[in-house]
Structure 1
Amino acid sequence: MKVSVIVPIYNVEIFISRCAQSLMEQTLTDVEYIFVDDATPDNSIKVLQGVINQYPDKKNQCRIIHHKQNLGLPVARNTGLAVAQGEYIFHCDSDDFVEPGMLEQLYHKAIETDADIVWCDWWLSFAKNERYMKQPEYPTGMEALKGMLSGVMKYNVWNKLIRRSLYEENGITFPAGYGMGEDMTIMRLFARASKVAYQPKAFYHYMQQNNGAFCKTFSEKHLSDVRHNVSMVTEDLKNLFGNALDTELAFFKLDVKFPFLISDDPAKYNLWKNWYPEANQYILKNKRLSLRSRCVQWLAWKNQFWAVWLYYKLVYRIVYGIIYH
């Protein structure tokens, strides 16, 4: 197989049909589709099987693996990785959908450049609108890693085609039991990539509608998960590169806690103050990040949370809440 597509499934009954159809209509041949049922309580699997039956020529390329109990998103990804046979791995979340030429174009780019990882642009999709999310281009895996740590390139799992041997030869899996921030694992793969490539086109539609998905809630467990995954990445990169990435790791910690400022909740402002205070001195040094983002963080550092609150109300509530919604 050229590509193995891994799709974790949990509580996506109203989304899985569109996702599965978009995968069945991929123009690339020699693709295996691994759907991992993470003990979903709804009718997602029944809907999925109905879609697969509509594509009899693809039926033999599809496999559904069932977990007896809900084990979480990282374990579902690992279940798929354990049985995947493709030269490359692609992760697709079950409430999203993709363009028909995605796998073909990403795979051809990988073969053409002998890349371990290929990434592309993507669509941030709302109920009625979409926003094109352009990604930067980097010549090496290290430069891409620095871009992700600095917050200018997304380390999401779902817009990247990754050579399967990169996982296997380095013993890299997703952090079982630590679902929030599990996609930070992608940075560990970039740190080990010999060659990387960028395809400047959006194929993936990341949906902002599913409130029942894996990562739409907020709890002490989720906060603990994020901190665990930050520590995992930090320790791994320090083992590989020593102190060479200390500045970028400070930028990374600032990026991780930045979402606490996209709120009008004083409790989240307190979280921002308490998380990684040692990184605050690097706020204005991250020239890769927009001046606007640096200013918001600087205001928080100086306890000017009235200005942070105003920024949230004016920019996020109006621009994203009304215009893009």
Structure 2
Amino acid sequence: MVKVSVIVPIYKVERFITKCVDSLMSQTLKDVEFIFVDDASPDRSIELLNKCIRKYPNRVDSIKIVSHEKNKGLPAARNTGLALATGEYIFHCDSDDFVDSDMLETLYDTAQKEKADIVWCDWYLTFGHNERYMKQPCYKTSLDALKGMLGGTMKFTVWNKFVKRDLYIHNNIFFPAGYDMGEDMTMMMLFSCAKKVKYIPKAFYHYVKLNTGSFTQTYSERHVVELDYNVHRISDYLHERFGNTLNKEIAFLKLAVKYPLLISANSKKYLLWKTWFPEANRYIKINHYVSSRCRFLQRCAAKGFFVVIRIHYILFHKVVYGLIYR
């Protein structure tokens, strides 16, 4: 058993793959296996991957490259990597991002010292010319962290979480193949099974976001179906484990899932917000996991004051993110 298995799905990332792989090959932790999953990428991503890894002959024996015959999507690629992994811990890295060289060693040493099932850390939101430091909350227990993710104050992203492989195996946890949007909610299932968790107040992961409008522009009908599936998947799983004790927090998750619809000037998205999970709207006022600004926008949406939502989008997201962070 190696210390860490790093799983890297690859699809249409020829612009980013070299920087990603360089950052992984430069890790100070040596006992690592790297599993690259080619999800039938139609561009030069795999060619560039092979070219890059030839620069690191000391890592050759620790690299696995596996290919899907046809594109299956991100969750399926993660599952393929999990099936091949032999590491004590699992780390997922998206192939258009990059990491600091001491990331794996720091996460692994912390997990060993604290005997933690899961370790998470801060991260960077990386734009074309600058970065924004994204601080995560500190929770002492896995249940508190789970509530934080449901509430929206803690990200349930896979790429700043360091997870013991046994959690996947012993609890039969895998990613929802075919339902890409919201697939990282799977982290909540893992946290619900973890006995001990640990937070590191330091950022190592650089989440690259060059198109600040891409999420709202691609929020398609299919994405809504996928998100709806994943919300119900998590809701059912948590009800089975905890009964009704997390009903309030699950309502917070529903609010968080549809909140991006308000980061838009599109009236069709506003209509979808009104019709999607309307039963959760009565929990807006009491969700103190999120900012007062977020609650204010949701309350405006619930009352139909979409002019306010549109003005907020133009002033905040177009000016702040469109001009300052780019």
For Structure 1 versus Structure 2, the TM-score category normalised by the shorter chain is over 0.9
Aligned to 2:232: 231
Using the alignment, how far apart are the partners of 1:231 and 1:108 within structure 2?
36
Aligned to 2:297: 296
**Aligned partner of 2:108: which letter?**
Y
Residue 191 of structure 1 deviates from its aligned partner by 0.5
* Contact in 1 for aligned 2:167/2:190 (Cα 8 Å): yes
* Contact in 2 for aligned 1:20/1:48 (Cα 8 Å): yes
Aligned to 1:52: 53
Residues 50-199 of structure 1: matches in 2 within 5 Å? 50-199=51-200
Residue 29 of structure 1 deviates from its aligned partner by 1.2
Listed one character per residue, the Cα deviations across residues 33-91 of structure 1 (whole Å, up to 9, x for unaligned) are 00000000001001000110000001111110010100100000000000100000000
Using the alignment, how far apart are the partners of 1:317 and 1:167 within structure 2?
40
Using the alignment, how far apart are the partners of 2:188 and 2:154 within structure 1?
11
Using the alignment, how far apart are the partners of 1:318 and 1:237 within structure 2?
39
SS in 2 for 1:318: helix
Using the alignment, how far apart are the partners of 2:288 and 2:69 within structure 1?
48
SS in 1 for 2:285: helix
Aligned to 2:210: 209
Q: Any gaps of 5 or more consecutive residues in structure 2?
A: none
**Aligned partner of 1:241: which letter?**
F
**Percent identical residues:** 57
Using the alignment, how far apart are the partners of 1:292 and 1:117 within structure 2?
31
* Contact in 2 for aligned 1:180/1:215 (Cα 8 Å): no
Using the alignment, how far apart are the partners of 1:90 and 1:210 within structure 2?
25
1:264 aligns to 2:294 (yes or no): no
Residue 209 of structure 1 deviates from its aligned partner by 2.0
Using the alignment, how far apart are the partners of 2:53 and 2:247 within structure 1?
48
Residue 145 and residue 10 in structure 1: after superposition, are their counterparts in 2 closer, same or farther (change >3 A)?
same
Using the alignment, how far apart are the partners of 1:184 and 1:288 within structure 2?
17
Using the alignment, how far apart are the partners of 2:88 and 2:175 within structure 1?
19
**Aligned partner of 2:240: which letter?**
N
Using the alignment, how far apart are the partners of 1:315 and 1:226 within structure 2?
25
Using the alignment, how far apart are the partners of 1:292 and 1:71 within structure 2?
38
Runs of 4+ residues deviating >6 angstroms: 213-216
Using the alignment, how far apart are the partners of 2:217 and 2:60 within structure 1?
32
Residue 220 of structure 1 deviates from its aligned partner by 1.5
SS in 2 for 1:229: helix
Using the alignment, how far apart are the partners of 1:205 and 1:124 within structure 2?
6
* Contact in 2 for aligned 1:6/1:89 (Cα 8 Å): yes
Residue 214 and residue 46 in structure 1: after superposition, are their counterparts in 2 closer, same or farther (change >3 A)?
farther
Q: What is the root-mean-square deviation of aligned Cα atoms in Å?
A: 1.3
Residue 25 of structure 1 deviates from its aligned partner by 0.1
Using the alignment, how far apart are the partners of 1:218 and 1:13 within structure 2?
24
**Aligned partner of 2:62: which letter?**
Q
Aligned to 2:22: 21
Give the number of equivalent residue pairs: 324
Structure 1 stretch 284-293 or stretch 46-55: which is displaced more? 284-293
TM-score (norm 2): 0.98
**Aligned partner of 1:95: which letter?**
D
Residue 210 and residue 62 in structure 1: after superposition, are their counterparts in 2 closer, same or farther (change >3 A)?
farther
Using the alignment, how far apart are the partners of 2:190 and 2:15 within structure 1?
33
Residue 30 of structure 1 deviates from its aligned partner by 0.6
* Contact in 1 for aligned 2:216/2:263 (Cα 8 Å): no
Q: Any gaps of 5 or more consecutive residues in structure 1?
A: none
Residue 186 and residue 216 in structure 1: after superposition, are their counterparts in 2 closer, same or farther (change >3 A)?
farther
Using the alignment, how far apart are the partners of 2:217 and 2:243 within structure 1?
35
Using the alignment, how far apart are the partners of 2:203 and 2:216 within structure 1?
23
Using the alignment, how far apart are the partners of 2:99 and 2:218 within structure 1?
25
